[in-house]
A and B are shown apart, each in its own frame.
Chain A
């Protein structure tokens, strides 16, 4: 079975500074990996996904993530934080069961952006 570890439960950055949200996973296959964002009282929105193509994945709103198989990591970055980036971020691994796919969620990282 897969597992996902988000290494920081809270991250705080100043507006205009870089963002790094860390994610490690365990997998016995070539996984599909995702980052989702959840703004307060909202549903989850896909930021980006990795599905065994390019290891550097670009997503929406200036976010990107790099898949590093040797480190089993899929860290999310953004060069310059904006106030609107304040939200909860989830790293997700997709596994294929005999009868379909299942998503495994990390416990989330809450991003605070300080003006």
Chain B
């Protein structure tokens, strides 16, 4: 059982480039979310989804887009990368409120 799979693990982008971080889960979870982790700030919610076709913004959504066409996949798109988006990104899924979240291994993104 793979759980939550994120790709790539590492990425370097130039300012202004776009890219998509991939996230897939095989647990049939309805809830999926993206977080960024920055030193001293814990994890902050970027976007989340409560099911296929339904997405909403979290705490820090600017500069990011998401879509949820299937239950399994929840990609995160950076439209025009900026150095402020240098961070570690985590995808998570859970099956319900009050349920534990399962996290991917993270994507370390550097924007130069």
Contacts and interface: CB of A to CB of B under 8 A. Distances in A.
A99 B68 CA distance: 15
Nearest to A107: B42
A44 B103 contact: yes
Nearest to B54: A99
Given A101-B94, A105-B42, A105-B43, A49 B100 contact: yes
Nearest to B51: A100
B97 A101 contact: yes
Task: Report the interface size class on chain A.
Answer: 20 to 34
Contact of B48 (A32, A43, A102): A102
Contacts of A32: 97-98
Interface in A92-113: 92, 94, 96, 99-103, 105-108
A90 interface: yes
A34 B100 CA distance: 8
Interface of A: 4, 9, 32, 34, 36, 42-46, 49, 51, 90, 92, 94, 96, 99-103, 105-108
A99 B97 CA distance: 10
A60 to B, nearest CB: 12
A44 B96 CA distance: 18
B75 interface: no
- Give 9 nearest A-B pairs by CB, closest first: A100-B50, A32-B98, A105-B42, A101-B97, A44-B103, A105-B43, A107-B42, A43-B105, A43-B103
Contact of B97 (A49, A90, A92, A94): A94
Given A100-B97, A101-B94, 8 more contacts: A4-B42, A42-B105, A44-B43, A100-B50, A107-B40, A107-B41, A107-B42, A108-B40
